[in-house]
């Protein structure tokens, strides 16, 4: 079994300083932490930096809302989620714009 290549999201340096997005916030529940890792692992390498923590945090909360039985995912929530994912290169259209 081969090791998976290290995701550059967790290893990119910028100007010699580590600017990786890092671990999920301490207040996150276990479910939110799993979503954080899922999004990081599925993102295009090099997308998320420390400065993107707030948008990643927002994505996590919206995905958690979407997956929680009995919670209502409104059209506005869905629109915000798609918008956040689009800004992070995580939709087919955004990848096409990036030439991927």
Q: Is residue 4 part of a domain?
A: no
Contacts 24+ apart (CB under 8 A), 40-44: 40/7, 40/9, 40/10, 41/7, 42/90, 43/9, 43/88, 43/89, 43/90, 44/89, 44/90, 44/95, 44/98, 44/100
pLDDT at 26: 97
Query: Is 90 domain-assigned?
Result: yes
For the chain, the domain total comes to 1
| Structural domain for 44, as ranges | 9-97
Name the token pair of 37. Answer: 């890792």
Q: Kind and range of the H or E element at 17?
A: strand 17-18
- Report pTM: 0.78
55-66 confidence digits (pLDDT tens):
999 999 999 999
Contacts of 42 (CB under 8 A, 6+ apart): 90
Answer yes or no: is 93 within a domain.
yes
Residue 55 belongs to a domain: yes
31 in a structural domain: yes
């Amino acid at each position: 079994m081969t090791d998976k290549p290290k995701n550059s999201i967790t290893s990119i340096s910028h100007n010699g300083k580590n600017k990786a997005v890092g671990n999920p916030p301490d207040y996150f529940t276990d479910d939110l932490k799993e979503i954080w890792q899922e999004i990081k692992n599925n993102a295009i390498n090099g997308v998320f930096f420390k400065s993107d923590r707030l948008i990643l945090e927002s994505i996590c909360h919206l995905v958690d809302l979407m997956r929680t039985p009995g919670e209502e995912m409104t059209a506005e929530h869905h629109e915000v989620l798609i918008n956040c994912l689009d800004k992070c290169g995580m939709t087919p259209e955004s990848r096409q714009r990036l030439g991927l």
